[in-house]
Amino acid sequence: MYFKGPVNMSKPALYYATLSPPSRAVLLTAKAIGLDLELRPINLLKGEHLTPEFLKLNPQHTIPTLIDGEATIIDSHAICAYLVEKYGQEQQQLYPKDLVKRANVDARLHLDSGHLFARLRFLYEPILYYGSTDCSIDKIAYIQKCWEILEGFLKDDPYLCGSDLTIADFCAVATVTSVNDAAPIDEFKFPKLQAWLKRLAELPYYQEVNGDGAEELKAIFKTKLAENRGK
């Protein structure tokens, strides 16, 4: 881990972790718009996001955190929107300027932050950081309720906001694929959701940017849960 000042940089710098679904959502967005980022890895399990140096950058101590010139931007959803606005002029459909379309994308982003990721964190964080063994049916069912919501949005459309791929898809897929082992998706109950996952997985940059990190996080979760239960 290293820290640099925000001035006179040739490209935006992203503090990130491949284990972090929000980080991977930003990386998917950057790939989609062809933006090269200076990547600065943060080890969450070692608490590098809690160091005094990082807290100066982001008092909320969350990743990803973006440094672009003099600007510091936190929250993956805000970063994705910012990157498309500033650097994705040829991919504006990812975060459309039309007021109604943008409102729908914003709504799905809030679905991710307020429901999808929040429920993943409710299950994962105590096990990964605090030695918990609580992987209860109730917690899993709470996550799986989100599968019903996503299935509804995908009922008549290939993507969460209609016919076009947007940053809402990137944010949601990074979360869903990080927890779908612990909270399985029934392919018979949720065929549209399964088809959406396959559709996103066909993106040429998907596996490297999201798939590998999601699998690594799920493997670490299983290992930590077993370790905690063995104590």
23-64 tens-digit pLDDT: 999 999 999 999 999 999 999 889 899 999 999 999 999 999
**Over 50: is that where the pLDDT of 138 sits?**
yes
The residue-averaged pLDDT of 121-143 equals: 96
**Over 90: is that where the pLDDT of 128 sits?**
yes
Residue-level pLDDT at 6: 47
What is the distance between the alpha carbons of residues 64 and 37, in angstroms, rounded to a whole number?
Answer: 12
pLDDT 10s digits, 169-203: 999 999 999 999 999 999 999 999 999 999 999 99
The residue-averaged pLDDT of 206-218 equals: 98
* Res. 164 pLDDT band, cuts 50 70 90: very high
**pTM of the full structure:** 0.94
Percent of the chain with pLDDT over 70: 96
Which domains does the chain possess?
Answer: 13-92 (3.40.30.10), 93-230 (1.20.1050.10)
* Res. 9 pLDDT band, cuts 50 70 90: low
The residue-averaged pLDDT of 89-100 equals: 94
**Over 70: is that where the pLDDT of 1 sits?**
no
Say whether 132 is catalytic: no
Six token digits for residue 137: 């049916």
Sheet architecture: strand order including 38-41: 38-41, 13-16, 65-68, 71-74
Which residues partner with 13 through β-bridges?
A: 38, 67
- Contacts with 147 (C-beta within 8 Å, 6 or more apart), sequence order: 183, 185, 186, 189, 190, 193
Residue-level pLDDT at 189: 97
**Over 50: is that where the pLDDT of 8 sits?**
no
Q: What is the mean pLDDT of the chain?
A: 94
* Res. 10 pLDDT band, cuts 50 70 90: confident
Burial class (CB in 10 A: 0-12, 13-18, 19+), 70: exposed
Q: Which of 10, 20, 76, 113 is catalytic?
A: 20
Q: Evaluate whether 13 touches 207 at the Cβ level (below 8 Å).
A: no
Residue-level pLDDT at 113: 97
**Over 80: is that where the pLDDT of 89 sits?**
yes
- Contacts with 67 (C-beta within 8 Å, 6 or more apart), sequence order: 6, 9, 12, 13, 14, 15, 57
Angle between helices 99-111 and 167-179 (to 10 degrees): 20
